[in-house]
């Protein structure tokens, strides 16, 4: 990849992404929200930088960066625009990770290469209207007829679905087998029988599409099943570490952007003869927020380092996701408070960032689910 991410993973990568984020993403984030879309030229530039191949090995045209560098990359993109960071995060992990870790060479050649090059934007279809955190309660059904499956059902809250590209999704192949009855499939979003039922209106991250999907008598070939029948639940769980590290990093990036703006404002805003940052009520609030931000970043990087070293990282990833997502909302609240009435106006970025960051406590496992997992690991 010319002038893009290299597999060695050093500070030059993050410097490059930071410049792109601040020059190309942040200035138009508010306009992107109004338009409810991410510009094709931004997607093309991210592809040229190698961002869409961040979690994919070089042999499949990926950038193959290490987990720590990937976390920092997501943080920097999120600091520019939370919506863009969601597109990048969902595309890389879980979508590309599932195909890379579980697909055959033929599937990787067909699906992973264009994803890694950024020719396609990947989506991940697990959640259904009645099944969010409880992935064993899926109703989408895949019935086998010879060498093909006929699939009927629905998915909910699916990111990137409006972009052309691959959709990795899960369906029940054996309804009597419980968790062992789920299987994983991949299709192109132009596949006959697949449709977008609606695009949701949301509180935040409005430039990132979130869609309800429908499968109606959709036929897929057997070679579009990823892994063996019944391995779907295991495949879905295998993405938890990297996915939750990504959302933690995203939380840190958005919170950092809000806090940096608030600190800059507090240095310039004058009241009672001095800058408001010199008043203890304001200064202490910002000091607390910066401490929370650094704690969230270190938890995130710790989980990423464990994963990079090949050590178990699920507990650390859950802790990072839980703490970073909740700290980010508190940091954005502190930032709004620092701006006073201006913080409540859409003319200033902290209002948008506050709305964008709220969903980080919900997707990739709610805060309640993180606590349940951590409780079981005690």
Given a cut of 70, is residue 79 above it in pLDDT? yes
In angstroms, rounded to a whole number, what is the distance separating the alpha carbons of residues 211 and 156? 6
Q: Write out the catalytic residue numbers.
A: 364
Mean pLDDT, range 10-17, rounded to an integer: 87
Phi/psi of residue 363, nearest 5 degrees: -80, 165
Mean pLDDT, range 31-42, rounded to an integer: 98
- Unique residue bearing structure tokens 């950024």: 118
Write the pLDDT tens digit of every residue in 135-152.
889 999 999 999 999 999
**Helices in 2-54 by DSSP H: which ranges?**
11-20, 29-35, 40-49
Q: What is the pLDDT of residue 132?
A: 85
The CB-based long-range contact list for 329-332 (8 Å cut-off, 24+ gap) reads 329/354, 329/357, 329/358, 329/360, 329/361, 330/289, 330/292, 331/255, 331/258, 331/259, 331/289, 331/292, 331/293, 332/254, 332/255, 332/258, 332/357
Q: What is the pLDDT of residue 134?
A: 86
Band (pLDDT 50/70/90 cuts) for residue 10 is: low
Write the pLDDT tens digit of every residue in 275-291.
999 999 999 999 999 99
If we measure between CA atoms, which residue out of 219, 289, 301, 306 comes closest to residue 254? 289
Percent of the chain with pLDDT over 90: 94
Neighbours of 262 (CB within 10 A): 26
From the number of C-beta atoms within 10 Å of its C-beta (0-12, 13-18, 19+), residue 174 rates as middle
Write the pLDDT tens digit of every residue in 209-249.
999 999 999 999 999 999 999 999 999 999 999 999 999 99
Given a cut of 70, is residue 205 above it in pLDDT? yes
In angstroms, rounded to a whole number, what is the distance separating the alpha carbons of residues 112 and 210? 22
Mean pLDDT of the chain: 96
Judged by average pLDDT, the poorest of 11-20, 39-48, 242-251 is 11-20
What dihedral do alpha carbons 67, 92, 55, 140 form, nearest 10°?
A: 100
- Unique residue bearing structure tokens 């976390």: 71
Given a cut of 80, is residue 155 above it in pLDDT? yes
In angstroms, rounded to a whole number, what is the distance separating the alpha carbons of residues 110 and 270? 59
Write the pLDDT tens digit of every residue in 285-334.
999 999 999 999 999 999 999 999 999 999 999 999 999 999 999 999 99
Mean pLDDT, range 245-264, rounded to an integer: 98
- In the chain, DSSP finds a helix count (H) and a strand count (E) of 14, 10
Residue 145: alpha-carbon gap to chain centroid: 35
């Amino acid at each position: 990849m010319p002038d893009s991410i290299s597999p060695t993973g050093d500070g030059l990568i993050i410097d490059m992404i930071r410049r792109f984020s601040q020059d190309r993403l942040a200035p138009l984030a508010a306009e992107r929200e109004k338009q409810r879309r991410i510009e094709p030229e931004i997607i093309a530039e991210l592809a040229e930088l190698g961002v869409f191949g961040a979690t994919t090995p070089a042999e499949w045209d990926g950038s193959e960066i290490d987990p720590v560098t990937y976390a920092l990359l997501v943080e920097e993109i999120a600091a520019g625009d939370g919506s863009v960071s969601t597109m990048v995060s969902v595309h890389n992990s879980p979508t590309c990770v599932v195909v890379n870790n579980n697909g055959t060479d033929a599937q990787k050649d067909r699906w992973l290469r264009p994803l890694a090059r950024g020719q396609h934007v990947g989506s991940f279809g697990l959640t259904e209207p009645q099944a969010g955190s409880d992935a064993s309660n899926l109703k989408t059904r895949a019935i086998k007829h010879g060498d093909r499956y006929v699939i009927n059902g629905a998915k909910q809250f699916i990111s990137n679905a409006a972009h052309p590209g691959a959709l990795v999704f899960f369906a029940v192949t054996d309804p009597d087998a419980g968790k062992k009855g789920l299987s994983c499939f991949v299709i192109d979003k132009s596949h006959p029988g697949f449709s977008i039922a609606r695009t949701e209106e949301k509180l935040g991250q409005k430039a990132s599409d979130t869609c309800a999907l429908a499968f109606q008598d959709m036929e897929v070939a057997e070679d579009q099943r990823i892994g063996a029948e019944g391995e779907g639940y295991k495949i879905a769980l295998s993405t938890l570490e990297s996915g939750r590290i990504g959302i933690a990093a995203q939380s840190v990036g958005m919170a950092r952007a809000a806090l940096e703006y608030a600190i800059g404002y507090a240095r310039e805003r004058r009241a009672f003869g001095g800058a408001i940052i010199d008043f203890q009520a304001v200064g202490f609030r910002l000091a607390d927020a910066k401490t929370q931000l650094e704690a969230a970043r270190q938890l995130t990087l710790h989980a990423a380092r464990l994963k990079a070293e090949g050590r178990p990282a699920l507990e650390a990833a859950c802790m990072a996701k839980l703490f970073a997502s909740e700290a980010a909302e508190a940091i954005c609240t502190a930032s709004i408070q620092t701006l006073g009435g201006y913080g409540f106006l859409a003319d200033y970025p902290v209002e948008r960032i506050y709305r964008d960051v709220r969903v980080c406590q919900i997707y990739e496992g709610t805060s309640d689910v993180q606590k349940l997992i951590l409780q079981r690991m005690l």
